[in-house]
């Protein structure tokens, strides 16, 4: 019986000894008074077991009480062993869950990259450390068009593949995060121009190879803005805002990246000033319409006029449309601008009729116009009131504007086409998916972008593009207009290609209403609708 009691206590001592390691581990993790007390109790029990074992080894016979006590001590050690190990596993599982939740809170669910919160924490730590670093804001060009044309699945897969590819090639001292949509932010522990150029070269090289997703090949280009800490700002929000400003300038200039400068702030303030004056310009009727004729060369007559919006200033200068139209789209005044244009064209058409001139006017529509049911309603109202005939108006749309919302644009243009309005596809060849647009939308006319026309004599490539577009338009039953005709040689070449209409400064620059018809008569051009 002595041996049984000694074995029970000895095994109990072993279980207590084995329990010490997880107990110490729990205490180190939790650092609480309760676990510290439990650890001390286990140590106290350990020495108590040792003392009782010594006692059992030195008595000749054990009583039933010692046997029962040995059994209780053995059972107690097993209990301690089980409780400690179960507790350790539970605590470790809770820590694992907490770490996973922390990881999820700090990382983008789609790409696995650090998210905006993680970026904020990281850049805050860098600001506190006060070591110089640079902030890169990267934005994918034409990403919305990819989503609209082939679907969000492909857009998501592209973001995943892009994130993985860039993560593989970026240096270890780069913090790469996705802060939303198709926008990424990168922190780089360097501010020298040479190092920034080298990093951008790495990124550009990584994007040379197309991304293949289910047999689709996507050529990705990004616009990047860079700001420097602490030179451009010593706080987070302005630093990010300045990098964002530089990114938009990169996108505007179509260059790989722009480093922030105070000149960009000046440009931003100028844009804000223009934006704030748009409401006043509408209220005070400051805008003017200029007209540029489209020449039907074979019969030497003016078929149509394109209405071009001008915003004259007190000093005699003009704010270009490419500066104020995007701002009007941003601040919501574009609808009023379009309605102003439409109302004034209606008045001018009445003026044409008074002079027995049966002419048609082209009007340029913005992305917002193509998503506004009120625009088509207004056109229908003008037709019902007898103020406008669909034959008097051609609606010009760009591929970029269409891609802002392909489905909505399809509905609006189909409705307008059924009402009798003609649709002209402007700047053809410069957008993302010209051919799919021709297939899906009711296009009646194609306008070749001026960049191709003006460069026809610079090489065979541009000449071939123009010839191909003319051939395509003719086979689709669309008329074709060549924009940007600025020389006699190009006009002659386009005539040989049987281009339907020519438009450009070689024939006539945009003129105000009072001058356009006298100029046409001076040139000997007959103004007629057909």
Bigger pLDDT: 460 vs 45: 45
Of these ranges, 94-98, 102-106, 193-197, 514-518, the one predicted with the greatest mean pLDDT is 193-197
Q: Which residues contact 58 (CB under 8 A, 6 or more apart)?
A: none
Would you state the pLDDT for residue 524?
77
Local confidence band at 299 (pLDDT 50, 70, 90 cut-offs) = low
pLDDT at 385 over 60: yes
Any idea which fold 269-527 has?
TIM Barrel (3.20.20)
Question: What is the per-residue pLDDT for 434?
Answer: 59
Report the pLDDT value the prediction gives residue 336, as an integer from 0 to 100.
92
What is the distance, to the nearest Å, from the Cα of residue 339 to the centroid of all Cα atoms in its chain?
A: 29
Q: In the numeric block, which tokens belong to residue 15?
A: 């279980």
Residue 480 predicted with pLDDT over 90: yes
CB neighbours of 427 closer than 8 A, spacing ≥ 6?
A: 398, 399, 400, 447, 449
Mean pLDDT of 278-300: 88
Q: Name the more confident of 96 and 459.
A: 96
Q: Which of 42-46, 155-159, 323-327, 374-378 has the highest mean pLDDT?
A: 155-159
pLDDT at position 266 over 90? no
How far apart CA 438 and CA 446 sit, in angstroms, is 9
- Look at 115-119, 516-520, 526-530 and tell me which has the smallest mean pLDDT: 526-530
Mean pLDDT calculated for residue range 522-526: 78
Whether the pLDDT of residue 433 is over 70: the answer is no
Tally the C-alpha atoms within 13 A of residue 112's C-alpha that lie toward its C-beta: 9
- Asked if residue 132 has pLDDT above 80, the reply is yes
**Enclosing H/E stretch for 102:** helix 64-106
Residue 496 has pLDDT above 80, yes or no: yes
pLDDT digits (tens, 9 = 90+) for 236-264: 999 999 999 999 889 888 888 999 988 88
Res 351: pLDDT? 82
Above pLDDT 90, what percent of the chain?
42
Answer whether the bond into residue 230 is a cis peptide, omega within 30°: yes
213 vs 35, residue with greater confidence: 213
How far, in Å, CA of 82 to CA of 503, rounded?
A: 89
> So what's the pLDDT on residue 223?
94
The pLDDT score that the predictor gives to residue 120 is 92
**Position 529 pLDDT exceeds 70:** no
pLDDT, tens digit, for every residue of 464-478? 889 999 999 999 999
Query: pLDDT above 70 covers what percent of the chain?
Result: 98
Cα–Cα distances in Å, from 243 out to 134, 138, 257?
Answer: 9, 9, 10
How long, in residues, is the chain? 530
Would you identify the CATH topology of the domain 116-260? Alpha-Beta Plaits (3.30.70)
């Amino acid at each position: 019986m002595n041996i049984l009691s000694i074995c029970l206590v000895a095994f109990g001592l072993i279980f207590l000894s084995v329990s010490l390691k997880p107990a110490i581990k729990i205490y180190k993790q939790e650092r609480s008074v309760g676990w510290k007390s439990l650890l001390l109790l286990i140590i106290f029990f350990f020495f108590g077991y040792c003392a009782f074992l010594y006692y059992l080894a030195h008595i000749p016979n054990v009583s039933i009480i010692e046997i029962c006590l040995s059994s209780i001590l053995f059972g107690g050690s097993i209990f301690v062993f089980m409780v400690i190990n179960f507790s350790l596993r539970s605590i470790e599982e809770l820590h694992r869950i907490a770490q996973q939740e922390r990881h999820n809170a700090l990382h983008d669910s789609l790409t696995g990259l650090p998210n905006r919160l993680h970026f904020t924490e990281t850049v805050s730590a860098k600001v506190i450390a006060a070591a110089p670093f640079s902030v890169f804001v990267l934005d994918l060009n034409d990403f919305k068009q990819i989503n609209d044309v082939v679907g969000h699945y492909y857009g998501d897969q592209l973001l995943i593949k892009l994130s993985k590819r860039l993560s593989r090639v970026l240096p270890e001292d780069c913090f790469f995060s996705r802060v939303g949509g198709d926008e990424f932010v990168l922190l780089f522990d360097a501010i020298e121009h040479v190092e920034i150029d080298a990093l951008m070269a790495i990124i550009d090289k990584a994007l040379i190879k197309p991304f293949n997703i289910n047999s689709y090949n996507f050529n990705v280009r990004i616009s990047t803005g860079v700001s420097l800490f602490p030179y451009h700002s010593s706080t987070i929000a302005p630093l990010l805002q300045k990098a964002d400003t530089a990114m938009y300038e990169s996108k505007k200039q179509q260059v790989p990246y722009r480093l922030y400068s105070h000149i960009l702030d000046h440009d931003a303030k100028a844009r804000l000033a223009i934006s704030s004056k748009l409401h006043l310009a509408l209220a005070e009727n400051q805008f003017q319409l200029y007209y540029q004729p489209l020449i039907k060369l074979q019969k030497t007559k003016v078929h149509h006029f394109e209405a071009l919006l001008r915003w004259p200033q007190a000093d005699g200068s003009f704010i270009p449309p490419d500066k104020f139209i995007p701002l009007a789209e941003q601040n919501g005044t574009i609808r009023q601008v379009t309605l102003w244009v439409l109302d004034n064209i209606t008045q001018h058409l009445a003026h044409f009729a008074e002079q027995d001139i049966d002419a048609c006017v082209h009007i340029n529509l913005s992305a917002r116009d193509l998503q506004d049911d009120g625009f088509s309603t207004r056109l229908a109202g003008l037709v019902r009131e007898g103020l406008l005939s669909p034959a008097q108006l051609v609606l010009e749309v760009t591929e970029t504007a269409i891609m802002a919302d392909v489905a909505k644009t399809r509905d609006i243009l189909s409705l307008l086409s059924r009402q009798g309005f003609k649709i002209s596809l402007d700047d053809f060849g410069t957008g993302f998916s010209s051919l799919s647009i021709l297939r899906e939308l009711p296009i009646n006319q194609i306008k070749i972008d001026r960049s191709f026309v003006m460069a026809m004599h610079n090489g065979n490539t541009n000449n071939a593009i123009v010839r191909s577009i003319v051939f395509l338009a003719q086979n689709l039953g669309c008329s074709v207009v060549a924009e940007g005709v600025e020389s006699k040689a190009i006009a002659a070449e386009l005539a040989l290609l049987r281009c339907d209409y020519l438009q450009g400064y070689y024939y006539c620059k945009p003129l105000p209403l009072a001058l356009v018809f006298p100029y046409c008569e001076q040139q000997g051009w007959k103004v007629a609708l057909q």
